Structure 1
Amino acid sequence: MSAASCLLTEDQFLCSICLDVFTDPVTLSCGHNFCNKCITEHWDVNVPNQCPNCNKVFYIRPELRVNTFISEMAAQFRQSVQQKTSSSSSEQQAAKPGEVPCDVCTGTKLKALKSCLVCLASYCETHLEPHLTMSGLKRHQLIDPVENLEGRVCTNHDKLLELFCKTDQVCVCMLCTYSDHKAHDVVPLKEEYEGKKAELKETEAEIQQMIQKRRLKLQEIKRSVELSKERADRETAEGVQAFTALKESVERGQAEFIRTIKEKQRRREKQAEDFIKELEQEISELKKRSSEVEQLSVSEDHLHLIQSFSSLNTAPPTKDWLKVDIRPLSHKGTVVRAVIQLEQTLSKQLKKFFENELKRVQQYAVDVTLDPDIVHPKPTQSNDKKQVNERYVCRCVLSKQSFPSGRFYFEVQVNRWSMWTLGVTTKSNVKGRITLSPKNGFWTLCLKQRGGYHVSTDPSVLLPLKSQPEKVGVFVDYEEGLVSFYDVDTAALIYSFTGYPFRDELHPFFSPCNNHTQGPTHSSDSEE
């Protein structure tokens, strides 16, 4: 018998259900063998009764009897395997820190291969053998080695925790269901295990989904940083180009100013040189005449003195130097002209710069419509909801659109109103009496009743505009905290609010007034 079993392979002694060596093997009429427990449990949950291998149907469950021949063969095979494993037990290693040691080993504790939930002990390969060979121990439940097996036993009844109380969310033993957990919702531990495992799979799927979303967000942020750097490099280059042009204009103006001063000074020095030569010549002639007069005045020759007197008495032609005024040059006019010319040049450069800047921000133009539900107090609107009826003016109204991030630009025709206020704010700010200032959530530009353009800083600032804008453009960069106002027709920057940390959604804000009103319903800290 032993020799015959050695000729058989391991697969011939394995149950196709539990994939382990047969325990109490039974043979069906179709010829296939299974563990008695395995086929019984299989048929308990599967209807009709079929052979798991060939699917033959048994309309009446067969009476199962242990096949003693196969049982003996399986036992001998198991013993043979155990002898082989016992021969290699000398090669087993001692349990390392963090590994479960064998509870039976004396002296050096070997690494445990299995833990028994019935014996509440862990066994190395050698001491595990009885659980594999002895019929009484083979029914014990073996699991991968774990520590603290006592924690798997009910402290009240000293029984294995094999049930789960859903009511109290604790593991219990069978006797607990008759005492503290009577009438509670109790299920087998395996059932709860499967449920929790399914929940863990769902949780894992959710976590993976969250990870994926964050990876996408990470890529988005990295891409945003790359785009930001590209934009920063591009705008830096444009800014350097603009400042270089301004610097070159200033340097050219400075060089022209110095050249003009030097040229005027050169002409003055040449004029002074000519005057000096002329004066020196006249002085020389006058000295010569003085010498002749002195000689004649001491002469005792009466005839010679009388004859020479008429020629010496006639003065040689000279310039009236009292009319010649040589004063130090004043270059104030030159400086003023140079500054005016430089200002004109810089104005042209700035106008060109702001024209390009306005074209850039106009790329973010949005179509703004008024929201009839966000008005303070409520005015009458036109049919297209893009303008306010002049009969109900001096009211505050918000746009229907809101902007929680990014950039946007819109334009407002303001020349039809004698007073107006426009800008951006949040929806929550349009309540009660309004005080316009950034700390109250308003970034606005306004034309007041007594004239003058003001921005809603705290306190408000009067802007010395050279011309009255007919159309005003408003540009907002939410992330940069920037609100800029432009005169669209002249492409001039009127004013910019910078460095404000926006947190809420922004709405374009309007408050138009005409000459027949008593004043706006909003107020400003610097209201006249």
Structure 2
Amino acid sequence: WSGLCEAGNSLSMSSFSELKCSICLDVFTDPVSTPCGHNFCKTCLNKCWDNNQTCSCPYCKETFKQRPDLKINTTLREIVDHYKKKSPEKKSVTFSEVLCDFCEERKLKALKSCLVCQSSYCETHLQPHFKVAGLKKHKLMDPVSNLEDYICQKHERPLELFCRDEQTCVCLSCAEVDHKNHNTVPLEEVNVQQMIQDRIKKIQDINHSAEVRKQRNTEKEKAARVELFTDLICSIERCQTEVLEMIELRQKATEKQDQELIEELEEEITELETRNTELDLESLNRTLTHLQNTLHEKLTQTGASIHDKINTQCSTQLFKYNLKWVMTQDIFFNERRLDNKTEGLAIIVWEVSLDVSLDPDTAHPNLVLSDDGKQVRHGDTEQKLPDKLQRFDTWKFYFEVQVQGKTDWTLGVVRESTDRKGKITLNPEDGCWTVNLKKGNEYFASADPFTSLCLSETRQRVGVFVDYEEGLVSFYDVESSSLIYSFTGQPFTDKLYPYFSPGFNNGGQNSAPLIITPVSYNN
């Protein structure tokens, strides 16, 4: 069927008879096949069955028990479409315009054409050709309108033979006279063979076209795909580069903002530290003024002149802004307990000469105390002492001392609830407020984090000032009357105790003791 409608072939129009629907007598539209093998237009067959109570084949009248599920015959539809595309003019002439020559009123479409009678007949008028003996021998063919093309013009007989030598159609008379010794065969055989050859050629042409198209399309498609994916890869790489550059720029901008913020915060810290120092000095001035007034009243009550009393223990500078009073206040809160339960600073002034000494029940076994409890040094070896609950078992201790000649020490205050066993963590969170010296010249405060202190000279005497209500712990260089460091805003709730450690002996390099010194008012 693939080459049935090839344009230019001199095939008989009878070759297209199977492309007609026997219901509408026109070229198939959506051809379907019945179980008995006959073909119809899908719409024509459905209308026929819709108008009848039974489903039977319109051609052979075979009845079906169930209405068949009609499926479009795709092969037949392709053949019809190919025919319509290649020979639209033949379709109309062959199937639409050949009518019966013997119908008088309404002419029906011809079913067959007779080459002998030179007429076309409908189904009714064709019956004599099947019944009358003389008519049975006539040559019938599918209806055509140009019957004269199938009649020999010389002998007026049907062209029934094909001369292979001259490649032309001839009648029987031509074959007996002009083509007597030629190779002649029936026209139907030639048509069939020609159809076979045409189909073979068509198949070859289709295969060749498919191969060429496949090769051409495949190469073009490959090239197109390669180009597409190459562009896609380039686009992805470009986007990746842009994203990485954007991330890097954003990171640099963030780092710049962070650095600027850090610089601003450092400036604010410097300003706050300066302000804090100023506030500490103002607080000290107020405290010293209060002490001056209280002491003046106390001296007045005892009957002595303030000038005489000051000459005995201190100078008139006692009531000025003099950091010697810092040392005095450290002693005020000493006697192994510092809290906010005092009878008044003025009264405690007169208790400066109290006998403050180190407690042997709390000293670490490696520490050697003097008999008078005023000195302590590291003994290198551990002494056999009772393991009391209040005894520290590390190298850290607490108090206020003279530090002359030492390369390592720790000095400050701790709260009563501080754990005295194991390694002691020196920071305010664990209840320790200390200043430390390491390696002879490295000073730092045990803040969180540790704060390095820029001190150019070696300290000889260090004083600690504690204001319990203000939450203040300050460290001062007694010799130069200068502030070393201050812890401010501390939430004191427990009792506070002096805390100090003389450090390791270091092969005699740090053998000098820490000495609790009395407060001198006239120095």
- Higher-RCO chain (CA-CA 8 Å, sequence separation at least 6): 2
Structure number, greater radius of gyration:
2
Give yes or no for TM over 0.5. Answer: no
